[in-house]
Amino acid sequence: MDDHTENYWHNRRVCVTGGTGFLGSFVVEKLRERGATDIFVPTHAQYDLVKLEDIHRMLDDGRPDVIIHLAALAGGIGANRARPADFFYINLMMGVQLMHAAWERGVEKFVATGTICAYPKYTPLPFKEENLWNGYPEETNAPYGLAKKMLLVQAQAYREQYGYNAIYLLPVNLYGPRDNFDLETSHVIPALIRKCIEAKESGSPQVVLWGDGSPTREFLYVEDAAEGIVLAAERYNGSEPVNLGSGQEIQIRDLAELIACLTGYEGELVWDTSKPNGQPRRALDVSRAEKYFGFRAQTPFEEGLRRTINWYLEHRKVAQP
């Protein structure tokens, strides 16, 4: 750890919205490791960040110098299709009002996290940040992606008009320990892990999976993502959006076979092609993060999957409803 890191968090109060969540819990740990001693983590039970009065109360209570805004309503394709209005409204209102209130009150820095769902459906690979506006997002998660994308517009507008130091990061699909394993709302990796383990234990001859397995995805281990966010908070003060990813692409069919292998499931993987695939391909150009604030993912994919599977096996009574 360099002196800059130590000095940056010394005497700075930091607020991490969503700090009890999957990614947020790791961000809070990273901050503590790097010398942050005054970390304020608002919970949803205490503050509903859709409500402006709750935002102001939270800022009164936390008095932050830096806000890392991770709170979001998020989920997989099924959840996005079932609740598109919620995904749009809740994410938009939380972010836009919070950033405005932070600027009004003179909060020194605002770190906004977007989503890879903000990219156009047919983005040239690898996804480069300058392609972000070249088309409409994939339909199943467009309301979520666009709501989060408005924080980029806001960050750039507030920087231009007010000189406000708001930055915008675009993490790719995350996975790791403490993920959401609820099959109704989970993303693909925890869903595959849970399905394979339960099928193995019940002796089920097959596991049914959504789509045809042809799409590709890039995944970033959650601890790597937390490291990238904290590095950006310390070192990056620019207007351009920045991808956070691993730079490695895998086909969903290959991912399913790898997880079946790592969980010891030997039955058949059946693809339900009546269900949507989502975006055809996702892989990021991750050069900007390394250039601007020295971030490069460290965790090999298979190692990250093993840790995630082991965590789920140890914590499944609390990890699933």
Q: DSSP 3-state helix, strand, coil percentages of the chain (rounded to 5)?
A: 50, 15, 35
d(CA 310, CA 307): 5
d(CA 113, CA 69): 6
**7-37 in b/e burial notation, b at 16+ Cβ within 10 A?**
ebbeebbbbbbbbbbbbbbbbbebbeebebe
3-class secondary-structure state, position 38 = strand
In 108-163, the DSSP E strands lie at: 109-113
Whether 164 is a known active-site residue: answer: no
d(CA 154, CA 101): 12
d(CA 243, CA 142): 18
Pairing, β 166-171 against β 66-69: unpaired
3-class secondary-structure state, position 110 = strand
Phi, psi of 87 (to 5 degrees): -65, -35
Query: What six digits make up the tokens of 90?
Result: 């809740």
* DSSP codes joined into one string, 281-301: ---B--HHHHHHH-----S-H
Q: Which one is catalytic: 144, 164, 221, 236? A: 144
Active site residue ranges: 144
